[in-house]
A and B are shown apart, each in its own frame.
Chain A
Amino acid sequence: MTTPATATATILFTDLVGFTEYTDACGDAAAVEVLDHQTAIARAALDHGGGRLVKELGDGLMFWFERPASALRSARSMLAAVDAARDTRAFPLGVRMGMHCGDVTPRGDDFVGRTVNVAARITDLAAPGELVVSDGIVAALAPDGAEFQPVGPVRVKGVASPIWLHRLATRPSY
């Protein structure tokens, strides 16, 4: 058996905030419409950078990017598109995102490894309309990382040392 080649990559997760409750309140057809809309926004955003949609996870999406810069461009584009759609009430829910970079191991079209797990975990700490990234992303983007604001160190299950988080929001916070 051969071991799959591990390579450095950037993983981005999105999560639709309140999707389960929205489905309960508005029904399955409306829920499917939201998912389709989210996927359409994501695919349009990906046109701006070198990455791909890996898979859909219920109401969330997982993306792979070769570099953090293209991941950031796509994430920004997605957040801006969702905000614009929400302003016109065309999109009913907020989207939050988490991003981390490091080694990933391919498994078919999918990727596995600690980098994937950490990216998924930090998504839980983002607010709607917000991207939370690890310090690895900020360091890789330097000096452009100045646009991020520090959130703090967080311990992620299965990872020995704390991971510093930073936030990027498309809208100003109050």
Chain B
Amino acid sequence: MRVIAESDRREVIASTGAIARDGGPVTIDGGSAKVLARVPEGTPLVIGTTSGRVTIEGRVGAVSVVTASGRISVADAASVDARSASGRIEVGHADGGCRVVATSGRVDIGHCGGADAMSESGRIVVSDAHGPVRANCTSGRIQLTMAGAHDVEAETVSGRVEVSFPDGLRPLVVNSPAEVPGERAGHDCVVVARSGAGRVVVSGR
């Protein structure tokens, strides 16, 4: 499924699939069909598919995507809730929070207002977090780049955890076996980071 948000568009059109809008978000139930939809910029979306890649291009409102099997890519949204039982999930930019559940697949989040991400068998990367982050990974690495003093809760069973903050910030690292250059007991934000079998590193940059 491919959804394109266009700034000069006023109506929603789609090649196929069940589309509904009852005063709330635009709902697209794609099944396993190949769907191309065009929506006005800023449109809130709720999308469901059986299988196949879901790609959302352009700027949309709050978006929820759930697929039984397939990769999900969201370029730019107000907020994101994306779930795939089997497939990678990518979010380029979200003003608000990102809730991402990837049962088996990597999670990549760019700019976000906060994130709550889970992957069972893939790494989690949040590269520009402007809010608190919670990351839970089973057998993969967690790499979080924080834009400011925001709380972090990161946990992986068998991977490395890396959390980096801008230089000068001093997080309070608690309940963690983390390697922390400089002082461990700051007060700017709280970091809880654990790994069952990997290194935990909290650093400045």
Contact = CB atoms under 8 A, between A and B. Distances in A.
Interface string A41-73: 000000000000000000000000000000000
Contacts, number: 95
Interface residues of A, number: 31
Interface string B38-79: 000000001111100000000000001111100000000000
A82 B116 CA distance: 18
B64 A155 contact: no
B97 A128 contact: no
Contacts of A80: none
B142 interface: no
Taking chain B's interface residues, is the majority helix, strand, or loop, or is none over half, making it mixed?
Answer: strand
Contacts of B105: none
B99 A22 contact: no
A18 interface: yes
Interface stretch (A1-9, A100-108, A146-154): A146-154
A79 interface: no
B48 A155 contact: yes
Interface residues on B, range: 35 or more
Interface in B68-111: 68, 81, 83, 85, 97-99, 101, 103
B189 to A, nearest CB: 13
Given A22-B196, A156-B68, A151 B81 contact: yes
Contacts of A125: 66, 83, 85, 101, 103
Contacts of A152: 27, 46-48, 64-66, 81, 83
A151 B63 CA distance: 9
Contacts of B133: 174
A33 to B, nearest CB: 14
Given A127-B118, A174-B133, A153 B66 contact: yes
A24 B196 CA distance: 10
Given A21-B157, A25-B197, A153-B66, A124 B85 contact: yes
Contacts of A154: 48, 66-68
A145 interface: no
Contact of B97 (A18, A153, A173): A173
Given A18-B138, A127-B118, A174 B97 contact: yes
Interface of A: 17-18, 20-22, 24-26, 89, 92-94, 121, 124-128, 149-157, 162, 165, 173-174
